[in-house]
A and B are shown apart, each in its own frame.
Chain A
């Protein structure tokens, strides 16, 4: 399962060539599945949900981070679709034994 340095480089060069090939041929957008078009990897509406970007996070700052203090709040941004908030949920309280690590 070990890989030599040369093999590693080969893998990385190969994928780089693949991506750049599509880019230079102007085929990038066409090559992306339609369903993935809307799936943005970062959001900007005053607050951020950031993807695993190596440059700012690991190179500059060394960490991965969400600006909004409350992650819950951050996710709520832009999700104000009334369909998803029907409000008639039931809170079920069931007697469940507590065992460390399981629940």
Chain B
């Protein structure tokens, strides 16, 4: 019985608690300031851990949490009663009769998202605030995911909270949400990118960033208040489609597997299909976004039964479209990979060699190297793999590239 509860507790603590923390903070912060709301949410979870360990997990753990959080909030309000009598009284009455409906929880989380994405707040702080307040990650989890110290994160959060106070957390006006949704989407996109990283030290936490990004976008998509929704659908499609291949990208000895070698039976069909459905919803009103194009590219990969069946000319056409929205060297680089498949490696190499702006990007060199290997120009392939390796600093990437380098050199020169 104890072991059972312990296992459940671990799951609870890792996912459920973390998510519920954010929901509680969002709702309670309507009645108290945000830091108090976080305190109360934390307190509630602590109480839950203690109580549930002795008495078992309740039939409806969510309801239990919300009731407890509500009571703790009411107590706080009553304690401060004499400071600001009238205001507290009004809030108290509201809170007393409050019901934690799904809609309310969704709306309040949206409100916090919008507040955290205020333009006066820097991008990295926006993401950090969301990670802390809405997603319930701890300071040290956030710090290690950002490869920085707890102090740096605390600093960032303090700055961010300051700005939140100055700019107010109260944004009920719907038009604010709709006209600012792009900022929210971009922040979620950044969050997703933070998480979309193969095994490095904190793989679990980083993968959670991806699921959090998806969860937050689902709130946007489910909201009645958000209009139009097609860009949110596009972003959600992109994330689902990319995540559908997660399991196949790392093998059980933590090596990276490139697409050609991925075991496609490990691709998550449910996520893939979910991505496709959202892709469908994203095509509205003659509107477009980079997310939509990237998602379509990812979808083309996702539906190929085998690497050899990949529709490269379609992907190339999609990159052409993407270029009109963002004419950057990185987009050009990625396009040239598809171009190589359609027009041949030699043609792609000559275009790549003319491409400027990627002198310190190892992906540029590894792409060149792979293409040279393709046309059996071994000296050039070796040269560019070595250059790529010199630009890479982490061991996993180095190992991957070194394997590629070693595979270029012909194993034997002996002829029979």
CA distance A71 to B191 in the complex (A): 12
Q: Can you report 5 residue pairs joining A to B where beta carbons are below 8 Å apart?
A: A23-B320, A40-B326, A54-B242, A67-B360, A70-B148
Q: Which residues from chain A contact B85 at a C-beta distance below 8 Å? A: none
Additional A-B contact list (15), CB under 8 Å, known A31-B287, A41-B294, A61-B366: A11-B299, A12-B300, A27-B286, A28-B288, A33-B287, A48-B330, A57-B363, A62-B259, A63-B397, A63-B400, A72-B124, A72-B152, A90-B158, A90-B162, A99-B46
Q: Which residues from chain B contact A15 at a C-beta distance below 8 Å? A: 279-280, 282-283, 292, 295-296, 299
For the complex of A and B, list the 5 residue pairs with the smallest distance between their C-beta atoms, beginning with the closest. A62-B258, A101-B13, A55-B337, A42-B330, A35-B182
B298 adjacent to A54 (CB under 8 Å): yes
B122 adjacent to A84 (CB under 8 Å): yes
A83 adjacent to B49 (CB under 8 Å): no
* Proximity string of chain A (58-69) to chain B, C-beta cutoff 8 Å, 1 when within and 0 when not: 111111111101
A31 adjacent to B330 (CB under 8 Å): no
CA distance A20 to B197 in the complex (A): 31
CA distance A12 to B10 in the complex (A): 40
Point out the residue from B42, B296, B393 that lies within 8 Å of A16, measured CB to CB: B296
Count how many chain B residues have C-beta atoms less than 8 Å from C-beta atoms of the other chain. 114
- Total A-B contacts with CB atoms under 8 angstroms apart: 264
Q: Is B375 an interface residue (CB 8 A)?
A: no
CA distance A22 to B414 in the complex (A): 56
Q: Which residues from chain B contact A53 at a C-beta distance below 8 Å? A: 294, 330-331, 334
B334 adjacent to A55 (CB under 8 Å): yes
CA distance A68 to B292 in the complex (A): 27
- Nearest residue (CB) in A for B327 is A40
Point out the residue from A52, A61, A81 that lies within 8 Å of B193, measured CB to CB: A52
Point out the residue from B238, B292, B333 that lies within 8 Å of A19, measured CB to CB: B292
* Proximity string of chain B (283-305) to chain A, C-beta cutoff 8 Å, 1 when within and 0 when not: 10011111011111111111101
Least Cβ–Cβ distance between B206 and chain A, in angstroms: 10
CA distance A96 to B370 in the complex (A): 52
* Proximity string of chain A (20-42) to chain B, C-beta cutoff 8 Å, 1 when within and 0 when not: 10110001110111011001111
Count how many chain A residues have C-beta atoms less than 8 Å from C-beta atoms of the other chain. 75
Q: Which residues from chain B contact A79 at a C-beta distance below 8 Å? A: 122-124
- Nearest residue (CB) in B for A100 is B13
Q: Is B381 an interface residue (CB 8 A)?
A: no
B331 adjacent to A36 (CB under 8 Å): no
Q: Which residues from chain B contact A100 at a C-beta distance below 8 Å? A: 13
Q: Which residues from chain A contact B154 at a C-beta distance below 8 Å? A: 91-92
CA distance A52 to B49 in the complex (A): 38
A60 adjacent to B361 (CB under 8 Å): no
Q: Is B66 an interface residue (CB 8 A)?
A: no
Q: Which residues from chain A contact B363 at a C-beta distance below 8 Å? A: 50, 56-57, 60-61, 65
Q: Which residues from chain B contact A39 at a C-beta distance below 8 Å? A: 182, 186, 290
- Nearest residue (CB) in A for B394 is A69
* Proximity string of chain B (16-27) to chain A, C-beta cutoff 8 Å, 1 when within and 0 when not: 011001000000
Given contacts A16-B314, A58-B245, A65-B397, contact A99 B326 (CB under 8 A): no
- Nearest residue (CB) in B for A84 is B122
A49 adjacent to B193 (CB under 8 Å): yes
Q: Is B194 an interface residue (CB 8 A)?
A: yes
CA distance A91 to B294 in the complex (A): 40
Q: Is B350 an interface residue (CB 8 A)?
A: no
Q: Which residues from chain B contact A69 at a C-beta distance below 8 Å? A: 147, 393-394
Q: Which residues from chain B contact A57 at a C-beta distance below 8 Å? A: 363
CA distance A57 to B194 in the complex (A): 15
Q: Which residues from chain B contact A91 at a C-beta distance below 8 Å? A: 151, 154-155, 158
Point out the residue from A22, A44, A46, A89 that lies within 8 Å of B328, measured CB to CB: A44
Q: Is B249 an interface residue (CB 8 A)?
A: yes
Q: Is B321 an interface residue (CB 8 A)?
A: yes
- Nearest residue (CB) in A for B318 is A19
A47 adjacent to B360 (CB under 8 Å): yes
Q: Which residues from chain B contact A60 at a C-beta distance below 8 Å? A: 258, 337, 363, 366-367, 370
Please provide the chain A residues from 67 to 97 with a CB less than 8 Å away from any CB of chain B in the complex: 67, 69-72, 75-76, 79, 81, 83-84, 86, 88-92, 94, 96-97
- Nearest residue (CB) in B for A22 is B288
A50 adjacent to B330 (CB under 8 Å): yes
CA distance A44 to B152 in the complex (A): 25
Least Cβ–Cβ distance between B388 and chain A, in angstroms: 9
Least Cβ–Cβ distance between B139 and chain A, in angstroms: 7
Point out the residue from A9, A23, A54 that lies within 8 Å of B303, measured CB to CB: A9
